[in-house]
């Protein structure tokens, strides 16, 4: 079971949409960050079970943030959320150690899937 979720996105609306799409009784502790750098700091402080990461952000973009976080914690479970889901982007994100890429905008369905797959991966690394 996931206990905490970090949402990294420069758009407050995007973060709001993600929260709205979460299942009703998720019971997650939610942390938010408005750019990659803040995301890395939040990760360091709270060590969330799952991180949802936007790619295009000012100051530090999502690619760099994934790399940093995976550097801090090679077992960090990160799902990237982007509208530009080109094959190339998906591959690059995967190479950096993210679990997978979900398409923007999210939906109830895609977030339920993210939580399930995130929980699965998190359980794996716990073992």
Binding site for other proteins (CB under 8 A): 11-14, 16-17, 20-21, 56, 82-89, 104-107
Q: Which residue lies nearer to other proteins by CB, 20 or 44?
A: 20
17 binds, among Mg ion, other proteins, none (CB under 5 to 8 A by kind): other proteins
Q: Which residue lies nearer to other proteins by CB, 25 or 87?
A: 87
Residue for token digits 């998906």?
90
Q: Which residue lies nearer to other proteins by CB, 11 or 45?
A: 11
Q: Which residue lies nearer to Mg ion by CB, 8 or 76?
A: 8
Least distance CB 9 / other proteins (angstroms): 9
Least distance CB 117 / other proteins (angstroms): 20
Residue 18, token pair as written in the block: 């993600």
Residue 10 found at the interface with Mg ion (CB under 5 A):
yes
């Amino acid at each position: 079971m996931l206990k905490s979720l970090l949402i990294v996105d420069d758009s407050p609306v995007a973060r709001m949409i993600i929260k709205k799409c979460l299942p009703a009784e998720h019971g997650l502790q939610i942390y938010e960050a408005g750019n990659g750098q803040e995301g890395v700091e939040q990760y360091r402080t709270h060590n969330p079970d799952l991180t949802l990461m936007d790619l295009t952000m000012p100051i530090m973009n999502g690619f760099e943030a994934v790399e940093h976080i995976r550097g801090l914690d090679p077992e960090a479970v990160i799902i990237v959320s982007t509208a530009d889901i080109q094959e190339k982007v998906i591959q690059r994100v995967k190479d950096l150690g993210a679990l997978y890429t979900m398409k923007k905008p999210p939906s109830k369905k895609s977030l339920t899937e993210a939580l399930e797959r995130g929980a699965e991966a998190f359980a794996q690394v716990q073992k």
